[in-house]
A and B are shown apart, each in its own frame.
Chain A
Amino acid sequence: MNDLLTVRDLESRFKVGGGLKSLFSPKTYIKAVAGVSLDLKEGQTLAIVGESGSGKTTLARAIAGMGEDASGEVLFNGQNVLALPKSDQKALRRDVAFIFQDAVSSLSPRYTVRALLLEPFQIHGMMPDDPDAEVTRMLTLVGLPATMADRRPHELSGGQARRVGVARALALGPKLVIADEPTAGLDVSVQGEVLNLLNDLREKLNLALLVITHNLNIVRHVADHMAIMYLGRIVEIGETQDIFDHPKHPYTAALLSANPTTEVDVADGRIRLEGEVPSLLARPPGCEFHGRCPFARERCTYDPPEVRTAPDGRRFTCHFPLGPDGTPTE
C-alpha cells in the first residue's frame, strides 16, 4: 500500500504584531507548526493529539492546502500541495475534505439539507443528472432518512448535523478526510455514533482519515496511528496501541496518565507536570519540554533532541526516552 499522504518538515507560521510599531521593527513570526513529518496510507486512521494551541488545526489546514505561509513538503498522491498553482487547488479540494469542529455553525442556516448536500457539486461544476437521487444516496450513506432532505440545520440534532457535515465532506468522493475535533461538545453516546460512522465509511470507501482531537479515550479506539504534538512539533508518533502501552516521551506519558477516569485509585501513579506551557514567541532552548519534564537533566536544557526512531518504527524526540517501567532507560 502506498502512502497517500507524506508530510516532510512542514512549517506554518503567522505574523504577529501590527500597527505602527511594525513599520519600524522587523516582523516577528510565530511558528505554529515547526517541522512536522508524518505519513498516512489509504484506509488508515491517524490521530493527532495535543492541547489547544499546540498546532493541530494549523497542521491540518496546511495539509489541506489552506495553510498560511507554509513551507516544507506535503505530498498528496505524489503531488506537492504547497507548490500547487491556484488553478489546481480546486481539484485538490475534491480529494481532501474537511469536517469542521462545530457542525451546526458550519452549515448555512438558510439552506435546506438538500441544498447543503448539493452545494459541493455546484461549486465544482459536477452537478449529478439526478440530484434528488444523489441526495438520497448521500443521506443513506450516513444513516439518515431521505426525508431529512427538506430540513434546515436548526431542525437537526447535534448528531444529525454532524452526519450532514460528514455527508457533505464525502460528496465528491475524497480520498482523505480531515476531521477537526469531530466529537467536541458531544456527549458520549452521540460521540460513539459519529465515530462509528466515520469508521464504517473509512472501511467502505477506503478513506484515509486524519482525526484531530484532545480526547485520548477515543483515540485508543479509532486510530491505527497517533501523533502527539507539543508546541507545534510532533514529540512522538507511532502505532496507537504501542504508544498507549509504553509511551517513550515523558509528555506522552504524562498525557496518558492524566486522563481522568471513573476508576477508583488510579490517581496515585500519575505523572504531574509542573510549570506552564511556554509561549510560542519565546521557545525554550534545548528540549522545549524540559521546563515541565519530571525527568529533565542538564543536557535537556541546552541540547535540542533529534528525532529518533525506535526498532518498532516509532519516532520520538527525547534524549532520555522512557522504558517499559515508565522511567528513563539511559
Chain B
Amino acid sequence: MSVQNALEVRDLNISYKVPGGKLRALRDINLNVPRGEIVGLVGESGCGKTTLMQTILGLQSSAAVTESGQIMLGDTDLLTLRPKQMRNLLGDRISAVFQDPMKSLNPVLTIGRQMTDIQFRHNISQREKRDRAVEMLQKVRIPDPESRLDQYAFEFSGGMRQRIAIAMALMAEPDVLVADEPTTALDATLELTTIDLLRDLQQDIGCAIIFITHHLGVVAELCQSVNIMYAGEMVESGPTRAVFDAPQHPYTELLFNCDPAQIPERTRHLPTIGGELPSLINLPPGCVFEGRCPKAFGPCAEIHPRRVQSGGSDMVKCHLRDPEVPQ
C-alpha cells in the first residue's frame, strides 16, 4: 500500500447470490483515495456504487459474497476484520454521510444528546463532550449552537440537518469520510454552501473524502480526482480536470455529453445513451460497454479490455486506448 493513500481498494470482487446464479456486482475494482483529497465516484444507478460503499463501511447485505480483493485502511485490510473490530473503526477512522439527513438523525433525541453520545469512546466529562459538540456545530456554521443543541432534528432546515450530519461524521476526525450523494436533497444554493463547507472542513481536518454523486458539476467543482463506474467495473479514473477535458473512455464521453448542463442551446430533445445495461448474471465475454458503444470494433465483443494509462487519465479500460490492440 502506498503511503499517500488513506484508503485503497484492490481488485475487489463482490457478488450476490440470486436465484439463477451469481450476480457479479463488482468486478476487479481498484480505487485509490489519497490522504486529504476528495475523490469523486460517478456512475448510473445499478453500477455498483452502493455495493462498493457498503463494502467499505462493512455494511454489506447478507446476500453479498466477497470473492476476492482487499480494502486497505492504512495497514489494515478491512475485509479480514471481525464485525466487532470493524465496529470499532466506524465513526472513528471511517465515517459516512448519507443522502437523507432526516433518516440518519434520530428524531426522538436532541441533537446535543446524539452529538455527545457518539463521543462514547472519549474518556472525557459530559461537559467537555458538550463543548466539543458546540465547537463542531460552530464549524459547520450553525448559528447559536449552544441553545440549538437542545433541539430535535425536525426543528432544523434540510441544509442544517445535513450540516449536522457532516459535523457528527467529522467529530472523530476520521481518516476517510464516505459521502453518499449528500447534496441531492438540497437546492442549488444550499448545495453550494454544503460543498464549500465540506471542502473547508476537509482541509481543516485533513481527512480524505469519497464523494458519490450523479451530479457531474459537483464533481468538477469539488473533487481532485474522479472514478467512473459502469456495470460493476471501474472504467476510467484520473485527475478531474484531465478527465473532464478529454475523457478517454467512450462511456465517460457519452455520460458527459448527456449532462443537460453541458448543452448551451435550449433543446427539447436531450441526448441519451441507447441500449441497456448488460446482465450481471450472464456477463458478456468482452467489454461490458460493447453493446451500447458507438465506437465498438473488432476485439470489443470477445476480449475483455485491460487497464491502460491514456491521455490525462490514470486508468482506462478500453481497447481503443490500448497501444497493443491493433486499431
Contact = CB atoms under 8 A, between A and B. Distances in A.
Interface in B25-83: 43-46
A52 B185 contact: yes
Interface string B179-195: 00000111111111101
Contacts of B267: 221
Q: How large is the interface on B (under 10, 10 to 19, 20 to 34, 35 or more residues)?
A: 35 or more
B191 to A, nearest CB: 7
A151 interface: no
A290 B147 CA distance: 24
Interface in B250-295: 254-256, 258-263, 266-273, 276-277
Interface stretch (A58-66, A80-88, A256-264): A256-264
A260 B254 contact: no
Given A192-B272, A221-B270, A255 B216 contact: no
A217 B259 contact: yes
A241 B143 CA distance: 37
Contacts of A218: 260, 270
B131 to A, nearest CB: 23
A67 interface: no
A137 B220 CA distance: 43
A295 to B, nearest CB: 15
B122 to A, nearest CB: 29
B128 interface: no
Contacts of B185: 52
Nearest to B245: A264
Interface in B130-168: 143, 155, 157-160
A81 to B, nearest CB: 28
Contacts of A131: none
Contacts of B262: 262
A28 interface: no
A205 interface: no
B311 interface: no
Contacts of A251: 189
Given A188-B255, A193-B272, A273-B193, A262 B186 contact: no
B214 interface: yes
Contact of B188 (A260, A264, A279): A260
Interface string A174-212: 000000000011111111110110010000000000000
Interface string A38-77: 0000000000001111100000000000000000000000
A221 B261 CA distance: 9
Q: How large is the interface on A (under 10, 10 to 19, 20 to 34, 35 or more residues)?
A: 35 or more
Contacts of A188: 214, 216, 255, 258-260
A8 B203 CA distance: 50
Contact of A221 (B192, B260, B277): B260
B306 interface: no
B220 A261 contact: yes
B215 interface: yes
Contacts of A222: 268
B260 A273 contact: no
B46 A158 contact: yes
B187 A241 contact: no
Interface in A198-241: 199, 214-218, 220-222, 241
A267 interface: yes
A329 B193 CA distance: 27
Nearest to B256: A262
A254 B191 CA distance: 12
A191 B277 CA distance: 15
Interface string A260-298: 111110010010110111010000000000000000000
Given A191-B260, A221-B268, A262-B220, 9 more contacts: A52-B187, A187-B44, A190-B45, A191-B270, A196-B269, A215-B260, A217-B259, A217-B260, A260-B192
Per CB-CB distance, the 8 closest pairs between chain A and chain B, nearest first, are: A51-B187, A260-B217, A187-B44, A192-B270, A217-B260, A262-B220, A189-B273, A258-B188
19 contacts: A53-B157, A54-B187, A186-B45, A187-B44, A187-B45, A187-B214, A189-B271, A189-B272, A191-B258, A192-B260, A195-B270, A214-B186, A217-B261, A218-B260, A221-B267, A259-B188, A260-B215, A261-B261, A279-B157
Interface of B: 43-46, 143, 155, 157-160, 184-193, 195, 214-221, 241, 244, 254-256, 258-263, 266-273, 276-277
